[in-house]
Each structure stands twice: as C-alpha cells, then as structure tokens.
Amino acid sequence: VNPVAGQATAPPSFVAKRSGARARGERLVEALLLLATVFSASAVIIVFVFVVRGAIPIVTTNGLSLFTTGGWDAQLRAAFNEGSWQFGILELIVGTALTTVGALVLTLVIGMAAALALVEYAPARISRPIESVVRLLAGFPSVVFGLVGIMAVSPWIEKVLITDKLMNDYLFISTGQCLLAAILVLTFMIMPFFVSVAVDSLRAVPNAYRLAGYALGMPKWRVATRLVMPSASAGILAGLVLAAARGVGEAVAMAMVSGANAHIPELSSGVFAFLEPVRTLAAGIIENGDASSNPAILSVMYACGSLILVVSVALSIASRFVSTAFQKRMRMMSERVS
Amino acid sequence: VSGLGRERRTPWALFVETVAPVLCWGAAGLLVAVCFFIVIYLLQQGFPALSWDFISSEPLPAITESLTGGILTPIGGTLIMLILGTVLVVPPAICTAIYLSEYMHEDRWYTKAVRLGLEVLAGVPSVVFGMFGLAFFTLAIFTFLSGPAADPSRAYGHSFLVGAIVMAVHILPFVIKVMEEAIRSVPKAYRQAAAALGMPKWAMVRKIILPSAGPGIMTGIILGMGLIAGDTAIIKLCVGNTITMSGAEQWWLPQNWLATITGQGATLTTYTYYSSAAGEGNAPTKAFGAAFLLIVIVLVLNVFIEWLMRRRKATREAR
C-alpha cells in the first residue's frame, strides 16, 4: 500500500518552498525529539543519584560493617522501637546470592535443554507455539508467581520434604517458605528470558555449520552440542547474565516465598540447608514499604536498593558487551561460509 | 572442534544420543506445563471468588474472609495506572524512537552513549525504581503530585500520579526498543519516494513512516501496558499501602478525579499481595480471584501482541 499514491496528480500540500519558517519548524521538531531522547537516556543517571544519595546516612553511621555483619531482624525491631541506626545486611546479600545462583543453575540446565529441543529438534509448527507460551510466561506478573509459590509450592515442600525428625534435628522453622521454594519460583521467572535469548543465539548459527557436521558423519546430538552450542556460547552467556540481572532484582515473589527470617542457611545442615528460610535484598525493601517514615529503615532500604542497582547495572552492561561480541562473531561466521 | 567423527560411537555415546533429546523435549514440556499449571491453578482456586459482588464492591479490612469485600478499587487502580502510565510513556517513547531511527548518526560517540543509557535503564529492576520514586517525589517542589507530608519541608510522595510517572520511566526503554524496531522496518523505498517528492523530513515521518509503522508502535504500547498491569514493587512503594482509594469517597466521579490521582490506592497486584498469606489481609480466595483477573488481562494483551506481530509479518511479506 503506498500512502502517497493518491496525491500524485495534484501538487501535494506538503510540497512548499523551503521558506525560513519551514526550516525553523524542522529545526524545532528535531530539537524537541532530541530533548526527549536526552531525557530518556539520562533518566538512569537521575535514578542512580537519588537512590545512592539516600543510602549515604546509613553507610556513614555503619561503615563497611553494613555489608559484612548480620542481625537484620533484631536491628529492624530496634530501629522501629528505639530509633537505632545500627544495621548489617550480610544475610540479605547472602540470600540474594544463594537464590540467584541456585535459580541460574536450574535455568542453565533446564533452559538450555529446552532451547536445544526448540531449535535443533522441533519443527516450526511445534516450536512456534511453544515460544509463544514462553513469551506468555515471561509476561506473568511476579505477584502471580509469588502467589502460586506461597499457596502451592511452599505447602508442597512442607508436606513432602519437611518431616518431624528433620525439624528436631536441623530446622528451626517449619514452613515450606524456604531457600528451595525461592529457587524453584525464581527459576521459572527468569527462565523464559534465558530461553528466548538462547533460542535466538542457536538460530543465529549458520546452517552450513550443521550441514558440515552431518557431512562428517556426526550424529545430530553431537552436532547440536559440539558444533552449534559452542558457536552460540557467547549469546547463551549473554542470556544467562540477563537472567541473573532479573533474578537479583526480583522483589515481590521473593518476599512471598523465601520465608520471614533473614537467615544464612547453615552449611552444617548439608542439603537440608535448602529448607531453611532466607531473605533477599529486594524482599527486604518490599517488606518495609510501610516503615519508610523511619529515617534509619528508609536509609537502609536505599542501601539495599543501591546494591541491587549497582549489581544489575553491571550485569546488564556485561550482557550488552557479550552480545555485541556474539553478533560480530556470527556475522563473521556467516560471511565465511557464504 | 575436536573429537569429530565416528571413532567415539561407544555404547555409552549411543545411549546419550538416544536419551538426551528425550530429556530436552522433557525440559521444553516442563516450561509449557508450568505455564498451563499456573493458569489452571489460578482459575480453579480463584473461580469460587468470582462473582458480580466481588467485582463491584470495595475491599474492606476484616479478619473473616467472607467480610473482606470485593476488588472494585483495585480494578479501578489498575485502570488508572494503565491510562496514566500509557499517556505518560507514549510521547517521550515515540519521540525518542523517531530520533534514534531517523535523525541520529549511527557511529557517533553520543549515539553509543544514548544506547548504553537506555540499555542500562532497561536493566534496572522495578524495586529500585520504587526507591527512586520515594526519594525523588518527596522533594518539596513535587507537593502538587501527592500532597504535603507530616514534615512540611517534604512532599508525601505516594500517589497514582507519582506511581505513573515512575512507571513510565521504568517501561520507557522497553517501549522505545519495540517502537524503534518498528520504525526501522519501514522499507527504505518509502523514504526515497518521499525524498524524491520533495517532502520535508518531518512531514515524511508524520505522514509516511509513522502510519506504516503503526502496528509495531501499537505492539510497543501494549507491551508497556502489560508491564504496567503486572508490576507490584513500584505500586507498593510509590502508590501506597492502602487497599481503597484515599482521595475521595466517590472516586469515580469526574470532579473527584484530581483528588483520586493525587491520592493513594491499590491495584490488582498490590491487592493480591495484601490478601495473600504474605500480606496483612490473609484472604487467599480473594487473592486468587484478583490474580486470576490479572492473568486474564495479561492473556488478552498477549493475544493482541501475537495478532499484531502476525499482521506485521503479513504486511512485510506483502511489501
């Protein structure tokens, strides 16, 4: 459809002399568009300044011990009741690291397998609807994941995995809201993002590479894992880093399923450490949304926010560099085969 | 690449080659199963709560679940956020997308800086935006957005308007990305034809490029709406912790709209959080009902996006 076809016979209304007014109008429009662009691109700087600035009071009163000591639950009560300014967020840092790493491991294993099935094995008429479902899963609100986690996953863990003997021997709390529940829920929240990127990366590998593998007598599975996957590894890594950034920042679902205690799982409990509660940085912020009139709690919330901000920004920049390198490599590869 | 060829086809290798694809299919099936499980579980658990009464009455703070009322104000809150957020995000998003695709020189250092800025913005989690809103919109000059705080040198900082502005900044990079892609995919021949007719650049953008990129721009808007409807952290931190509207009692009347959007309230997401076992409300059936409604909204928006994508593909092929 050509939108200007009908105007071809009569002189079109927009063809005017390049008068001064017209040129000024053009320049004005361009300036306005530039203004919007500068605003959009610099918003992140304003966000950064205001979040980090809020964290200064608590960092100056506690120094480095803010990041190296714990005791969150008691400190929160003391701040609320006595106006104490003493805080340590080590438990929250460990909680964030454990949930994110745990979910990343599961995402890498399950998500990679799913991506291989979608690209290397499934015909388009099967892979396309599955990819739609994956996009849909990525769009589910986090509170929905949290609700399913707290109403279905946690009770299941409590019923099936937590026995009376376990409670006597290891656990100090018996609800199913624990590290394991948090990891399971977070896995399916970040996996859709990873699978989308992994699928795109595997698809970007030139088909000639696969054909060359088959010509050498390599079975399909070996072509997929020894030829295609290594070639796409940078893209897959970019997807994993992106998923990590999402995991670090997930607040609501983690507040709902990770348990009500800031607690570092005991290494001595072995695998049962997964059944102990944790608290993440983002969950620590969300839970204290009501207490933001207390200056100490507010400032420690900013400290948690700053930490999340720095980590997720670092991860997204890393992801960008890795994926730029990957695209360059894929261009080179397709030039080489053509 | 090492270890090519057949020399390694031991029985173990044969076993792996047979079993591994099955496991891969299993993983893909698991993802699909989880998606269906969530939808069916919410439908099954939330269905008893769904009734006209549930949708048309306001929530009440009560310990007994049967007295906790309905979700009229959270539905209203979600609608308000959808409208305000979309209205606020679309102008800067379209302008930025046009500038990036039509006006900017690709290889300059500032182009790279702008792209990096947008990418970093996209990587900031919504809970951090919530904290930003708490810091920025409590400045005294923003009192007109949310009213004064107890301390007169600060603004209160919680209102639908504040939440919508923060939300617009949060979803901006995602919306820009889709819109820019849509504008870039307009064929070069259209631009050349317009230039040959002597069209000024802005007229070309307005009359030819934007209409041709319409479905793609719409996709960006719908995607943004999905993000707005699904977010909890920004709402909880910036719109407030109430379950009803704090602005005016008859919040739906036009003369009260200003009071409503400068007041606090809830959306379906914060109501779900409040009513779940994790929040103060503890009315799980109501939480499931609200979550079910949320999923319906997400599903409808998703179907719309898939339809737009298919239409875009069809027009691309027609060109």
Report the share of chain A in percent with pLDDT over 70: 92
Degrees, nearest 5: CA angle A236-A240-A242: 115
Q: How confident is the model at residue A6, as a pLDDT?
A: 46
CA distance, residue A165 to nearest chain B CA (Å): 26
Q: How far is CA B44 from CA A292, B47, B53, B229, B300, in A?
A: 37, 6, 19, 22, 19
Q: Which of A19-23, A58-62, A204-208 has the lowest mean pLDDT?
A: A19-23
| A–B interface: beta-carbon pairs under 8 A | 306
Task: Determine whether the interchain pair A282/B233 forms a contact, defined as Cβ–Cβ distance below 8 Å.
Answer: yes
Q: What is the mean pLDDT of chain B?
A: 85
Q: A314-324: b or e for each residue (b if 16 or more CB lie within 10 Å)?
A: ebbbbbbebbe
d(CA A272, CA B265) in angstroms, rounded, equals 41
So what's the pLDDT on residue A13? 56
Q: Provide mean pLDDT across the span A116-137.
A: 90
CB contact under 8 A, A114 and B135: no
A143/B4 CB distance under 8 A: no
For A252-292, what is each residue's pLDDT tens digit? Answer: 899 888 877 777 877 777 777 788 888 899 988 888 877 77
Residues of chain A above pLDDT 90, percent: 29
Pick from B122, B237, B287: CB nearest A316: B122
Sign of the CA dihedral running B286, B292, B296, B301: positive
What pLDDT is recorded for position B162?
92
Q: Which residues pair with A176 in a beta bridge?
A: none
Does A3 have pLDDT greater than 60? no
Crossing angle, helix B268-275 and helix B72-98, to 10 degrees?
130
Close Cβ partners of B265 (under 8 Å, ≥ 6 residues apart): B73, B76, B77, B80, B160, B239, B240, B242, B244, B245, B246, B247, B251
3-state DSSP of A99-158: HHHHHHHHHHHHHHHHHHHHHHHCCHHHHHHHHHHHHHHHHCCHHHHHHHHHHHHHHHHH
**Partner A contacted by B3 (CB < 8 A):** yes
Contact A22 B200 (CB under 8 A): yes
Contacts of B115 in chain A (CB under 8 A): 41
Please tell me which of the candidates B9, B230, B278 has its beta carbon nearest to residue A141.
B230
Q: Which one has a higher pLDDT value, A225 or A270?
A: A225
Q: Which residues, given as ranges, of chain B have pLDDT below 70?
A: 1-9, 62-67, 319
Q: What is the pLDDT of residues A15-25, one digit of tens each?
A: 555 567 777 88
Query: Residue A316 has what pLDDT?
Result: 87
Residue A166 has pLDDT above 50, yes or no: yes
Of A25, A122, A255, the CB nearest to B278: A255
Q: Is A60 exposed, middle or buried (0-12, 13-18, 19+ CB in 10 A)?
A: exposed
Which pLDDT value is given to residue A14? 56
Cβ distance A141 to B21 less than 8 Å, yes or no, reads no
What's the pLDDT at A1?
A: 47
SS3 A277: coil
60-119 in chain A: CB under 8 A from chain B: 110-111, 113-114, 116-118
Please judge whether B35 and A135 are an interchain contact, meaning their C-beta atoms are less than 8 angstroms apart. no
Number of Cβ within a 10 Å radius of residue A53 = 12
Within the 218-237 window of chain A, which residues sit less than 8 Å (CB to CB) from chain B?
Answer: 218-222, 225-227, 230
B122 touches A: beta carbon within 8 Å: yes
Q: Is the pLDDT of residue A7 over 70?
A: no
Contact A151 B284 (CB under 8 A): yes
Over residues A237-266, mean pLDDT: 87
Determine the average pLDDT of the residues in A50-66: 87
The verdict on B296 touching A (C-beta cutoff 8 Å) is: no
What pLDDT is attached to residue B12?
81
Residue A10, pLDDT score: 53
Q: How far B92 CA sits from the closest chain A CA (Å)?
A: 5
